[in-house]
Structure 1
């Protein structure tokens, strides 16, 4: 892999005095994880937690300062909560973006309404009808954030963790082309861990995620690899053998997956696409199937056959409720002494990136940035995911090559959807947004009239979150039976 010429260059971080603005500072999972990573880091500074739910941000600020008082905290950080975005951003060195709307009012519709039309989406987070609507209710907010960054901290490094990462990161650049923004995702990190397990099992190596390097390329949640090494050992011959093995040809029933988390997977989709196209998908399979949606046909049985389990609307709603969630941290119980707290690293790579930007060791990791040639064959401008070289004041994407024509076609089709919706968002044109919706592969399973009905039903269900879209003048809604 070689570095290409287009890099993002920004300010060099001062490890003794970093100001971080966290947009979405009431987060129940990302902020508590960040607090622990910062407490164990080599940085000192201030974190300003901004959230519309100021009480949640205040709770996280209390937790952050509580963690700093622990003997095993090695860094010196101060946490402040604010209900003012401008105050959070003013003079910030680093901006972190991680926001979400109430799933009971959004995600449940993203999952359930398309299902009524025969679209059995697995997660509805990034693409497909649900992913597109998640983008439509998020894009304008992030364009406003980008405008505020331009005003208050134009040189800041901006890291976006909000899904759909490619839509949202693209919206930041659409509003502020000179923004130093990077989309972040841990799917590739998890898959590197899977390859480490494979190397340990089949090559008798004592491997960890950090030992695995890959040539990753694609768009977020639809990334692929065509090279893989573990501690210098080429894994590709082993992967070629495994794809034809009995292990890679398993089938499952709904009963087999009854106790499996929707975040799990059996890698059968990965092996199947590797056999078909000669390059390996490299993300969680519940995401992959929403892009390569052959596996969604046949409803529950069709999806479960491949070892993938649908994320239900009930699961999404529970995730929003701390007492019922399987994922979120338990800040209130820790603060009250009702639950034992252990200070430990989250395993995310943000701090490694910040250390490299401040002049520490050079670091390579996967990032989402506009394509400037790092992926051949795809148009320049849309946000793509590849490895990047991170060093003092610079994040430079690495040239990853291109794709076999069939895979390039799959990816470019999704880019066309993303770019069409981004274009539509510039003036809130709902009819143009529907054009992007209509060319999505999941939607193309419907007649055009039914696709318009589905679009209108989602508009009606989520209208309170779509204020920036011109609903009143949308022609697409006139021909439906839906009361919007």
Structure 2
């Protein structure tokens, strides 16, 4: 029987969707679902969701809920990680402290100040999790959903290279889906290929019945002035290839958009947007909890878009699929650094996961990716060596941060964020460094 462990199962909205998609496959209706969270209330709600979904789909899932991580990992074939270390309070600090210095972010979970400190909070957890997997279920696949995706998968490759770790993100799928809707072409009839880094990959090919769809996209944009007020459209205009993450995310990875109120207005951005999203997630958790307590049916639908259920089904049933995976760059993209984590297509079947080599990206696309990769590399190295100076240097390399703040202010911001996150960071990284020090 296939055993799937959810780490951070208290992320109940995501847990509900993944379980519905997994149990929607007839071959997976009798899986074991082991749910783990450190918050007992959230774990109880997650268990209630799993049982209701299983019952309503007529599945025969064996559902186990436990506060003991190693118990949840016993016998696991797949481990799905979706934790948020520090919860909403830590996220609010990532987004609310930088504006005091004049630094604006929208989502703050992948790069920049928010992404760096979210990574540094998550790395100690990942070290423990991969250590447990190595001892308890060493042949399991670790499927990471937690952001910052590239940094987390990179860290896992450093501390536990023997673990089969892959990062899964739906940004490529939803990018192509949205573009196909815009140009009026059924997505299932298109052929597309993307490669780059997570949240900043590039739609390199996009065709319908042999016809390149980029000219049609340009026509649609030219006919609608409001479309030109989106970050991704501006990137497409300047770089020539469409990026695979939302405009809100994309605005943070470049120095072009959040540096002035005029640009924020022009591109219809909402700084600190993720604070409101996080509060909405908390509200939805409360609604689900009350619905379960009252015995009301939850809203239930199969997305058929999340990669983890598809990957699991492919490996269990030998159903070959191509999906997008975040993996170590072992000769996959020639003009991005070896050892970095890149996002490329991958074939999945009973033999495992085989990433597709992408060759070289268009030179301008690789150039735009490299600052993102540098921030991730310095963050990983800060944690690996315990050197707090490298945290500051990571933000020096971040285009949005360095376009707004002087080096002195970056040092001061890092000191504030280090103090705010306290013991969620590894001890060597809690050191304060004065802006004037050598």
TM-score, normalised via structure 1 length: 0.83
Of 408, 411, 417, the residue aligned with 1:449 is 408
Q: Counterparts in 2 of 1:175-190, with a 5 A limit?
A: 175-190=159-174
Contact 2:86 2:121 in 1 (8 A): no
1:362 is matched with which residue?
A: 320
Aligned residues: 433
Q: Which has the higher helix share?
A: 2
Q: Counterparts in 2 of 1:204-215, with a 5 A limit?
A: 205=185, 207-208=186-187, 210-215=188-193
> Unpaired runs of 5+ in structure 2?
none
Q: Say whether residues 1:61 and 2:38 are aligned partners.
A: no
Of 231, 250, 260, the residue aligned with 1:298 is 260
**TM superposition shift of 1:176:** 0.9
1:143 is matched with which residue?
A: 127
2:417 is matched with which residue?
A: 458
- Tell me: CA distance 1:54–1:427, structure 2 relative to 1, closer, same or farther (3 Å): farther
**TM superposition shift of 1:78:** 1.5
C-alpha distance in structure 2 between counterparts of 1:175 and 1:141, whole Å: 11
Q: Counterparts in 2 of 1:30-429, with a 5 A limit?
A: 30-41=14-25, 42-43=27-28, 44-70=30-56, 72-73=57-58, 75-200=59-184, 205=185, 207-208=186-187, 210-230=188-208, 233-243=211-221, 245-247=222-224, 268-299=230-261, 301-312=262-273, 314-322=275-283, 325=284, 330-337=287-294, 339-347=296-304, 348-429=306-387
TM-score, normalised via structure 2 length: 0.92
- Tell me: CA distance 1:129–1:93, structure 2 relative to 1, closer, same or farther (3 Å): same
C-alpha distance in structure 2 between counterparts of 1:151 and 1:401, whole Å: 36
- Tell me: CA distance 1:236–1:99, structure 2 relative to 1, closer, same or farther (3 Å): same
State the Cα deviation string for residues 54-91 of structure 1 (Å, max 9, x = none).
33213212331233223x43x32111111111111122
> Unpaired runs of 5+ in structure 1?
1-16, 253-267
Secondary structure, counterpart of 2:11 in structure 1: coil
Mean CA deviation greater in 144-153 or 58-67? 58-67
C-alpha distance in structure 1 between counterparts of 2:109 and 2:362, whole Å: 26
- Tell me: CA distance 1:314–1:393, structure 2 relative to 1, closer, same or farther (3 Å): same
RMSD: 2.3
- Tell me: CA distance 1:141–1:321, structure 2 relative to 1, closer, same or farther (3 Å): same
Contact 1:370 1:383 in 2 (8 A): yes
Contact 1:35 1:64 in 2 (8 A): yes
Contact 1:49 1:61 in 2 (8 A): yes
Mean CA deviation greater in 269-278 or 279-288? 269-278
- Tell me: CA distance 1:329–1:39, structure 2 relative to 1, closer, same or farther (3 Å): farther
C-alpha distance in structure 1 between counterparts of 2:225 and 2:128, whole Å: 46
